[in-house]
Amino acid sequence: MFGRLLRCLLPLLALLTSPTAWAQAPGRIVAVGDLHGDFDAWQAIARAAGLIDDRGRWSGGRTVLVQTGDIVDRGAGSRRILDHLMRLQREAPRVGGRVVVLTGNHEAMNVTGDLRYVDPGEYAAFATRGSVRLRDLLFEQQRAAFATRIGAAARKLSGGAVRQEWDRQTPLGLVEHQLAFSPVNGVYGRWIAANPVVAKMGDTLFVHGGLSAEYARFPLDELNRRAAAELKARSTDEAALINDPLGPLWYRGLVTRAPDPDEPPLPPGAVKLPSRPGIATELTQVLAATGTKRMVIGHTPSLKGIVIDHDARLIRIDTGISRYYGGPLSYLEIIGERLVPHVVPRPSAGTGMRQ
pLDDT over 70 at 6, yes or no: no
Fill in the DSSP letter of residue 182.
-
168 in the same domain as 289? no
Give pLDDT tens digits for 239-248.
Answer: 999 999 999 9
73 in the same domain as 118? yes
Average pLDDT over the chain, rounded to whole?
Answer: 91
What is the pLDDT, as a whole number, of residue 267?
A: 55
208 in the same domain as 89? yes
Number of domains in the chain: 2
113 in the same domain as 34? yes
115 in the same domain as 57? yes
Domain assignment of residue 10, yes or no: no
d(CA 113, CA 27): 39
Domain assignment of residue 323, yes or no: yes
Give pLDDT tens digits for 39-62.
Answer: 999 999 999 999 999 999 999 999
Domain assignment of residue 249, yes or no: yes
State residue 329 phi and psi, 5-degree precision: -75, 130
Query: Pick from 141, 172, 203: which residue ends a domain?
Result: 172
118 in the same domain as 221? yes
Confidence of residue 99 (pLDDT cuts 50, 70, 90): very high
Query: Pick from 172, 207, 235: which residue ends a domain?
Result: 172
305 in the same domain as 256? yes
DSSP H or E run through 167? helix 159-169
- The one-letter code for the residue type at 76 is A
pLDDT over 70 at 354, yes or no: no
What is the pLDDT, as a whole number, of residue 276?
A: 82
323 in the same domain as 209? yes
What is the pLDDT, as a whole number, of residue 261?
A: 66
Domain assignment of residue 42, yes or no: yes
Give pLDDT tens digits for 107-154.
Answer: 999 999 999 999 999 999 999 999 999 999 999 999 999 999 999 999
Query: What integer is the mean pLDDT of 155-166?
Result: 96
Domain assignment of residue 325, yes or no: yes
What is the pLDDT, as a whole number, of residue 272?
A: 54
Query: What integer is the mean pLDDT of 304-316?
Result: 98
Q: What is the DSSP string of 28-85?
A: -EEEE---TT-HHHHHHHHHHTT-B-TTS-B--TT-EEEE-S--SSSSTTHHHHHHHH
Domain assignment of residue 177, yes or no: no
pLDDT over 80 at 351, yes or no: no
Domain that holds residue 168: 128-172
Q: What is the DSSP string of 227-277?
A: HHHHHHTT---TTSTTT-TTSTTT--TTT--SPPTTSPPPPTTPPPPPP--
> pTM for the complete prediction?
0.89
d(CA 45, CA 36): 14
Domain assignment of residue 339, yes or no: yes
Domain assignment of residue 316, yes or no: yes
CATH label of the domain that carries residue 329: 3.60.21.10
Confidence of residue 350 (pLDDT cuts 50, 70, 90): low
Neighbouring residues of 74: CB distance < 8 A, sequence distance ≥ 6:
36, 37, 117, 119, 322, 324
213 in the same domain as 65? yes
199 in the same domain as 300? yes
331 in the same domain as 218? yes
**Comparing 156 with 2, which gets the higher pLDDT?**
156
Cβ atoms of 347 and 43 closer than 8 Å: yes
47 in the same domain as 81? yes
End-to-end CA distance of the chain: 37
